[in-house]
Structure formats: structure tokens, C-alpha cells
Amino acid sequence: MPSSGPARTAKRLAQNSPGSAAFDLQHYLKQRVQFVEQALDRAVICRDVPGARLLEAMRYSLTAGGKRLRPILAIASCEAVGGDPEDAVGLACALEMIHTYSLIHDDLPCMDDDDLRRGRPTNHKVYGEAMATLAGDALLTDAFKVLARTRSKRADAAVILEVVAELSDAAGSAGMVIGQALDIMSEGQPTDLDTLEYLHARKTGALFLASVRGGGRLGGADPAQLQALTEYGSALGLAFQVRDDLLDVEASTEQLGKRTHKDDAHGKATYPALIGVEKSRAFAHELVDRAIGALAAFDGRAEPLRRIASFVVERAL
């Protein structure tokens, strides 16, 4: 008799579990991305109800691909402390829903006014500005439902509630949104390195940190592990942003599937603009070393986190 869906999934994930002898990062990423995308597919369902065009608009952006880096980090952090991917799947979906909403709103004409995202027309280009605004609002709101309905074998309700609080803290007026506000306010303004780091720590760093800390909590992390994951996540988030700045300079629109060289066009401060391309590259590598160093006390189950850190700074997309 063939095994059932969930059992089959568990078996497939276990075959390439982090601690196994021949760890293959690409294989790991492919499996976890598939796992997350199946869960996202269930999180927003296009039911036949009045107003279903909203659900369609939400799915349009949510299923548009992307690296799914935040969900992967949540799952890898959960696994690094001994949890299963299933323990972090609610958080993984919530993170990607929040990331996706932020992209939809960022692309709006009143914000960055972008036409292209992940190689496809942006949400408002397809569904109009009003529906795109609402699709973003709904993805953000629904993210907390998906997370709050999480069940983890290794975390009780009080822990899940703390993950909810940390995620909203990271995504709201103390984190991602104030970073975005600052980004808009500082366009064309002279910016120093401290201000740039402050901005990135909020605009992208906070959600990265919530991914690894939340994943760790749901996997049953002890305080020392949570502290190590915090150092890992802080360094990795900044490394990701430095690499993003570099990619905007280096890559073509065709490669990235979104408009490039736009930082320069918008008069936005970036690491390459402030310290040059070579020093930016060196800084990104230094941050990745710092991230990997923070995991020194972890065993082989943290191998995906270590390898993802290297991947982030080497990525061409």
C-alpha cells in the first residue's frame, strides 16, 4: 500500500535531513521550497465566493516563485535545534506572506512604482491599485492566522504566542515598516554608514531575525541556542542586504526579473555607493563568517544554516 501524503512528505524530508552523511544543499533547498510552496498553496485557496478576485490577486504574487529564503531559514533553524520542518511550517508560510505583501505595497505607484517583479507584471499592473493594496493587506493579516493556528510538538501555546509577538514586532513600526519609511524619506539625502545599517537592520534584517529566532523557538531552542541564532540571523540579514545592493549594480534586469540599477536612479544610499564594490564584497564575506561562527556550538543539524549563509553571499539572483 502506498504511504499517505503527509507520511510520504516526512519520509522524503528525512532522506535529506541536515545531519545525514552526504548533505546536498541544492537538494535540501529544493525539497524545503517544495514543502513550503505546498503549504502556501493551502494557506490561500481560491474559493468560489463573491470577491474571489482578492484571493486570486493574493495567490498571483504568493505563487510567483522567489527564493523562499525566510521560510527556509525558519525551517532550517527549527531543524538545527532538533525540530521537524512541520513544527515551523506555519511560521514559514507567515513569513513568506508578509514578505510578499511588502513587495506588493513597495511596488505601488505611490511607493517605488515598479512594473516588473520576479519576471512578471507587478500586482497592481494586473489587478489595479485598489485590489493590490487590499491583496497586500489581506496577506499581512492572514499571516497571523496561519501562525496562530500553528501546532508544534516542541513548543506550547505560550511559545507560539511569543513567536507571534516577535514576528509583528519585526514586521511593524519597530522593524520592516519603519525601515521602509526611512528608505523613502532618505531618498536623495546624503546618508552615512551608521544610518544605512540602521535602515537595513529594520527594512530587511528584522524579518530575517524573526525567521531564525521563530524557527528556533518552534523547534524547542534553549536560551543559549536562541542567542546563537540571534547572532547568526543579525549577521546574515545584513550580508543579504549588502549582496542585494551589489546585485543591483552588477546584474541585468533579465537576470533578476525585476528592474535593476534602480537604487542609483532613486538616489538611494547603498553599500557600493558608500564604500565601493570591493569593500562591499569583503564586508559581505566577513558577515557570513560571523554568522557561521555564531553556530560553533551546534552539531551537524545546523549544516543547512551554515551552507545557506555562504549561499546568500554567493548568489547571483
Interface contacts to its own copies, rule CB under 8 A: 44, 49-51, 53-55, 58, 101, 105, 108, 110-111, 128-131, 133-134, 136-145, 148-149, 156-158, 160-162, 164-165, 167-169, 171-173, 177-182, 184-185, 195, 198-199, 202
> Which residue, 207 or 228, has its beta carbon nearer to its own copies?
207
Buried b (16+ CB within 10 A) or exposed e, 67-88: ebbbbbbbbbbbbbbebbbbbb
Half-sphere CA count of 283, side-chain side, radius 13 A: 22
* Distance in Å, CB of 186 to its own copies, minimum: 8
> Which residue, 215 or 304, has its beta carbon nearer to its own copies?
215
* Distance in Å, CB of 258 to its own copies, minimum: 19
What sign does the CA torsion over 278, 180, 316, 261 have?
Answer: negative
> Which residue, 170 or 288, has its beta carbon nearer to its own copies?
170
* Distance in Å, CB of 98 to its own copies, minimum: 8
Q: Give how far Cα 60 sits from Cα of 34, 48, 49, 51, 128, Å.
A: 17, 16, 17, 15, 13
* Distance in Å, CB of 201 to its own copies, minimum: 11
Question: Is the CB of residue 299 less than 8 Å from the CB of residue 14?
Answer: no
Q: What is the DSSP letter of 3?
A: P
> Which residue, 162 or 231, has its beta carbon nearer to its own copies?
162
> Which residue, 111 or 282, has its beta carbon nearer to its own copies?
111
* Distance in Å, CB of 257 to its own copies, minimum: 24
How does strand 120-121 pair with strand 116-117? antiparallel
* Distance in Å, CB of 101 to its own copies, minimum: 8
CA 258 to chain centre: 17
> Which residue, 105 or 306, has its beta carbon nearer to its own copies?
105
| Radius of gyration of the CA atoms of the chain, in A | 19
The helix (run of H) or strand (run of E) holding residue 285 is helix 277-293
